[in-house]
Structure 1
Amino acid sequence: KTNQLQRIIRTGRTGHWLNHGKEHCLVGMKGNPPNLNRGLDCDVIVAEVRATSHKPDEIYGIIERLSPGTRKIELFGRPHNVQPNWITLGNQLDGIRLVDPELISSFQKRYPDGNCMTPGKNP
């Protein structure tokens, strides 16, 4: 992605040869999840570079195994990030995308007209 030699010449910084090829994944949890499985998966995923913000498919399985049976939300998601059993939020999604039947039913009961973005409407 980057000409590393040019970066060193311009910035004088060394030791950043692989920064362009890695990303961090932050996982936050609310409350005390009953089934938190630590140490099941490796901390590193080696995968092909994909389109911008296109995560490796393996990350979703790792997070599912970390906390099975819990609700999951992805912030700043794009259409290619939508996953079953996840709520995906992002300004590049056209409307609301829910895949899980239970979430769809709950959403339709709470917002019959499908509009959850009206100010003051959320209880």
Structure 2
Amino acid sequence: MTGPVANAAYIAIADTPSFIFLWVGDGLGLEQGRQCLKKWGFRRCEDICWVKTNKTNATPGLRHDSHTLFQRSKEHCLMGIKGTVRRSTDGHIIHANIDTDVIIAEEPPYGSTAKPEDMYRIIEHFALGRRRIELFGEDHNIRSGWLTVGKGLSSSNFNSEAYVRNFSDKDGKVWQGGGGRNPPPEAPHLVLTTPEIELLRPKSPMKNQQQMQQQSASISLTPSNSTNKLATLNSPQNPNAIGLNQEASSSNFSGPGPWAPPAEGFKGREGGNMGPDDRQMEITEILNLIEH
């Protein structure tokens, strides 16, 4: 398919969200591929590179054409996305950080359009939707779980009714999408998951995780006694303890920050300065209240 026909076909079959993987060869094909993705309503988000080896299909001469300055030994597959998918909320739609963007695989015999099997594996791992279609396919592209379309196919056993039933729920309803809505986790066309699978899923770093780790390290380096225990309870990470101390005093600390020694500038219930013995009794009283 070329021109307006191809454009209309991609727009008609592309759900929201959806992903496209487009082989573009090398050189000029990279720029042309990006233009195609933009015209079809996709944003380019990844570039998967196939580095070719020729251990079993070595040829006596170099393969190149009059437009190249270097010997071609790789191909690119551009990945485009339509819609918006976030790793933090849409883990039932995509499974990120499990594959690399480089494939090292044998080059097919001269004239063959075959691509690496690893490409299928990457797509199936990443995109958790089960509605998968391959365009311009040939007999060697037929794969379980995929709908293969192409004029190079010698036969077909496609049944449209059976195909639709594969993606319907118990009531026969099929997720239609549209309107920019992402499918819910229970959508019938998504790959089912289990708690065991979720435990294995790579997780994104927590927000401010590094800062929390630094604070934890600073706490562990301080001496372990009742004074530091009270300082820990009054940390920003322990709002409940802060609430208890606010009940005891309207101004917890007059020091420069939340980690200042609690005995310095500590004021009693009446707001007056306290002696060492009175301060110790006040601290002991609060600790007993927290522990019980």
* Normalised TM-score (structure 1): 0.60
Letter of the 1:38 partner, please give it: A
What corresponds to 2:78 in structure 1? 26
From 81, 101, 105, the counterpart of 1:47: 105
DSSP 3-state at the match of 1:53: coil
Letter of the 1:48 partner, please give it: E
What corresponds to 2:254 in structure 1? none
Letter of the 2:62 partner, please give it: N
Residues 66-102 of structure 1: per-residue CA shift (max 9 Å, x gap):
112431111111100111111111110023355xx9x
- Partner Cα distance (1:71, 1:38) in 2: 18
Change (3 A) 1:13 1:78: closer
- Partner Cα distance (1:56, 1:37) in 2: 21
Residue 38 of structure 1 deviates from its aligned partner by 2.8
Letter of the 2:148 partner, please give it: T
- Partner Cα distance (2:104, 2:123) in 1: 16
Residue 50 of structure 1 deviates from its aligned partner by 1.4
| Structure 1 unaligned regions, length at least 5 | 109-123
Change (3 A) 1:3 1:57: closer
| Correspondence 1:84 to 2:144 | yes
Residues 47-68 of structure 1: per-residue CA shift (max 9 Å, x gap):
1111411111111111000112
Count of matched residue positions in the alignment of Structure 1 and Structure 2: 98
Residues 2-31 of structure 1: per-residue CA shift (max 9 Å, x gap):
537xx6xx95953x22x2x32222344555
| Structure 2 unaligned regions, length at least 5 | 1-58, 166-292
DSSP 3-state at the match of 1:23: strand
Change (3 A) 1:13 1:84: closer
From 54, 57, 61, the counterpart of 2:121: 61
DSSP 3-state at the match of 1:26: strand
Residue 36 of structure 1 deviates from its aligned partner by 1.6
Moved over 6 A (4+): none
What corresponds to 2:62 in structure 1? 3
Letter of the 1:3 partner, please give it: L
Name the Cα RMSD after superposition. 3.2
Structure 1 or 2, whichever has the larger Rg, is 2
- Partner Cα distance (1:45, 1:91) in 2: 28
